């Protein structure tokens, strides 16, 4: 059983400061979800700035969604500095497998930076773990979707990748698969409409960084709790939608749901299975 209550309480009690080198498309959403969950965001991606900024933070979130030469260098510098300080670092390999630049950058990051967490969709994680290139932009290829038929093989490769990298692996989708190489958590919280919003994955990565930063003795449980919380927020937010609301309102309702989420709600609404 995961003590989701104490993990959420630790985030709100400690207000973890998270350095984000993230996707320009979703940077504002990432900042707001961090504030909503109880964390505190800093966004910085200039090579002259990132080492100082990450030094005053507790955790680092690296998202490769809008790469350029300058941000790649900044990611390397910040990641290495975080490792020196013992801060947890999360990698969100957005679109890995879709282009040579994204794939090679993610691979280089894995070689040069030690990650506490790697979070992506099934195609992105497969691109890093197995060298497959079925990613379609930032979306998972339909052939890669986790289902009852391939669940055993997906969990096996995720566990192997976790043991190889030393990171908690979080594969998110209709069914979320989280593993630390030994334990596996299958999470079924969420709503299909979450795929109609740009940035739910990016927001989750930022939030997961905060959860791990506030619970460094329990990274596996912290990541599971963040994934459960995001999925539950998607369910709660969908319940608020009126016939005049669309995906923009839904995004805001998700942030509101995280802001108002209680430990009791999280505990009662969690839908997961530990293997």
Residues facing 89 on adjacent strands? 60
Residues facing 197 on adjacent strands? none
Q: Which two tokens stand for residue 185?
A: 């958590």
Indicate if the pLDDT at residue 140 is higher than 60. no
Percent share of the chain, pLDDT over 70? 95
| Each residue's pLDDT tens digit, 47-82 | 999 999 999 999 999 999 999 999 999 999 999 999
The SS3 of residue 43 is strand
Helices 200-214 + 4-14 axis angle, to 10: 80
Distant-in-sequence, close-in-space partners of 213: CB < 8 Å, separation ≥ 6: 14, 16, 17, 18, 39, 58, 59, 87, 88
pLDDT band at 150 (very low <50, low <70, confident <90, very high): confident
| Each residue's pLDDT tens digit, 124-138 | 999 998 875 555 545
Taking Cα atoms as reference points, which of 252, 203, 264 lies closest to residue 27?
203
pLDDT for res 245: 97
pLDDT for res 227: 98
- From CA 23, how far away is CA 8, in angstroms rounded? 25
pLDDT band at 151 (very low <50, low <70, confident <90, very high): confident
Domains along the chain?
4-274 (3.40.1190.20)
pLDDT for res 114: 98
Region 193-210 average pLDDT: 96
Q: Which two tokens stand for residue 188?
A: 């079924």
The phi and psi torsions of 229 (rounded to 5 degrees) equal -60, -45
pLDDT for res 135: 52
pLDDT band at 147 (very low <50, low <70, confident <90, very high): confident
Indicate if the pLDDT at residue 233 is higher than 70. yes
Q: Which residue has the tokens 């300080």?
A: 85
Farthest CA pair distance, the chain: 51
Of the listed ranges 36-45, 130-139, 181-190, the least confidently predicted one is 130-139
Region 169-178 average pLDDT: 95
- From CA 155, how far away is CA 183, in angstroms rounded? 10
69, 42 in Cβ contact below 8 A? no
What is the separation of C-alpha 165 from the centre of its chain, rounded to a whole number of angstroms?
16
Indicate if the pLDDT at residue 105 is higher than 70. yes
């Amino acid at each position: 059983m995961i003590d989701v209550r104490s993990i959420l309480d630790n985030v709100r009690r400690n207000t973890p400061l998270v350095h984000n080198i993230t996707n320009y498309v979703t940077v504002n959403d990432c900042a707001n979800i961090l504030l909503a969950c109880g964390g505190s965001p800093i966004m910085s991606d200039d090579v002259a700035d990132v080492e100082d900024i990450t030094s005053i933070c507790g955790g680092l979130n690296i998202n490769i969604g809008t790469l350029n030469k300058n941000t790649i260098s900044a990611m390397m510098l910040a990641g290495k500095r975080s490792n020196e300080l013992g801060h947890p670092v999360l990698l969100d390999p957005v679109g890995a497998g879709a282009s040579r630049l994204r794939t090679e950058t993610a691979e280089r990051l894995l070689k040069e930076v030690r990650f506490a967490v790697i979070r992506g969709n099934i195609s992105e994680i497969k691109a890093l773990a197995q060298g497959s290139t079925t990613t379609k932009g930032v979306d998972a290829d339909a052939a890669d979707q986790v289902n009852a038929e391939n669940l055993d093989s997906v969990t096996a490769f995720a566990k192997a990748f976790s043991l190889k990298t030393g990171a908690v692996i979080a594969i998110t989708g209709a069914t979320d698969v989280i593993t630390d190489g030994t334990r596996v958590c299958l999470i079924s919280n969420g709503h299909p409409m979450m795929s109609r919003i740009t940035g739910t994955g990016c927001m989750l990565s930022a939030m997961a960084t905060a959860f791990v930063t506030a619970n460094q003795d329990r990274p596996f449980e912290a990541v599971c709790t963040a994934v459960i919380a995001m999925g539950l927020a998607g369910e709660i937010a969908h319940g608020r939608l009126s016939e005049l609301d669309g995906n923009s309102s839904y995004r805001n309702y998700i942030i509101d749901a995280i802001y108002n989420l209680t430990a009791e709600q999280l505990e009662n609404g969690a839908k997961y299975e530990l293997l």
